[in-house]
Amino acid sequence: MTQTVNPSLSNSPIHRTVLNNGIVLLVAENPAADIIAARIFVRAGSCCEMREQAGLAHLLSAVMTKGCNGLSSLEIAEKVESVGASLSTDASSDYFLLSLKTVTSDFPEILALAGQILRSPTFPETQVELERRLALQDIRSQKEQPFTVAFDQLRQVMYQDHPYAMSVLGDETTMTNLTRADLVKYHETYFRPDHLVISIAGRITPADAIKLIETVFGDWQATATTLPTPNLPDIKLEPQHQIKPLQTQQSIVMLGYLGPSVSSPDYAPLKLLSTYLGNGLSSRLFVELREKQGLAYEVSAFYPTRLFPASFVVYMGTAPENTSIALQGLRTEVELLSHTEVSPSAFQAAKNKILGQYALGKQTNGQIAQVYGWYETLGLGIEFDTKFQELIASVQVADAIAAANKYLHSPYLSLVGPEAAINNAIA
């Protein structure tokens, strides 16, 4: 099999190769420990599901390791555990992931097993039924978790008909109606070599990695069938509030703002503002609303990296009697970003925090394989590792204010808690 290497990345610590069948292979040689980690990404997640099949990618990931090409669930587990390796599968909104980690000498064997699982899953009917029941239990248990309830209803009202509106688990109706045939069709459609990114980090040379991948995946050819275009309707900006009475010891107050995807020039300023507002014990929300005012059991902000428009969310868990004042406090702190300059010291501290956490998130081979594979899968390229740090470092206070003015106004509101408390908050 032939392969092409991107010449512009010749000085990169990551060796990038595109194999003849379309597989993108990334290799980070790291001889420090006798360990190899791999992440195999498929460019298909819950965004590729039809709304009535929400939860399909999750169910497929749960069943995928339960049988393949003549091996039972137990036999797969024994192969992995007999050499002390790890192998798992997962699904997110933007991709499917198979993760594995072994000592160097066992990597070829476990990689070959991963290839069988990816290419020839059998989806045993009994395992499909078992994993569906477990997923339904998860869905039901989440209805008792105030934060999850609040985030689910916020996400649904923000994203409407877009796949991001749904939990990766789907709901009880969609999960109940999924069949083995649905799994087979999804797998046949999206699991193909030209849809794969394989990211490897550890004690292995690029040449040896290429040879191994060719051995395991080289005869896997993509079909001529054109991949279906995901149904991604426009997201209309229609801020509104949603409330859910729940007999709990606290109220969850959550504000959501529709932000841009990772490819937007506004991504870095908003990522920085999210860190400044709600990342850690020194963050603005923690200091102002918990330490100074004593309003919050927990308070935070998040703005995930997404292929499509992402949600910028701030939330607080508070005593029911404080629901109204907590809501006002959250609103005030976000609104301040649009017209009040963050102090240079606080702004630099937020930069240092996000860059420090980013560096700490690339210490293990598994983390390294994850980061580079993820960027490649999202279409950002492995050079985004350096670009992200440069973007964060170059954000100016004026950039942050401009981004806040553009996105952080007229929020969606989600309230969960005792009925009287949440009704009073929106009265």
Domain regions of the chain by residue span: 3-217, 241-426
Q: Indicate the class that CATH gives domain 3-217.
A: alpha beta
Residues 6+ apart with CB under 8 A from 111: 38, 100, 212, 213, 216
* C-beta separation of 122 from 56 below 8 A: no
The pLDDT, as a whole number, for residue 7 is: 38
Instruction: Identify which of 176, 298, 168, 312 has the alpha carbon closest to the alpha carbon of residue 239.
Output: 312
CATH of domain 241-426: 3.30.830.10
Note the pLDDT of residue 223.
81
Task: Flag whether the pTM goes above 0.85.
Answer: yes
Mean pLDDT taken over the chain: 93
Where the chain has pLDDT below 70, the residues are: 1-12
Handedness of CA 144, 147, 153, 159 (dihedral sign): negative
Cα separation, 402 vs 260, whole angstroms: 14
Measured between alpha carbons, how far is 105 from 86 in angstroms, rounded to an integer? Answer: 14
Q: Residue 338 to residues 8, 163, 246, 394, 407: CA-CA distances in angstroms?
A: 40, 30, 33, 19, 9
pLDDT digits (tens, 9 = 90+) for 15-49: 999 999 999 999 999 998 999 999 999 999 999 99
Instruction: Using alpha carbons, list the distances in angstroms from residue 37 to 30, 62, 82, 163, 212.
Output: 10, 21, 17, 31, 14
Residue 116's identity, in one-letter code, is Q
Cα separation of 106 and 252, whole Å?
Answer: 47
CA angle 265, 271, 276 (to 5 degrees): 135
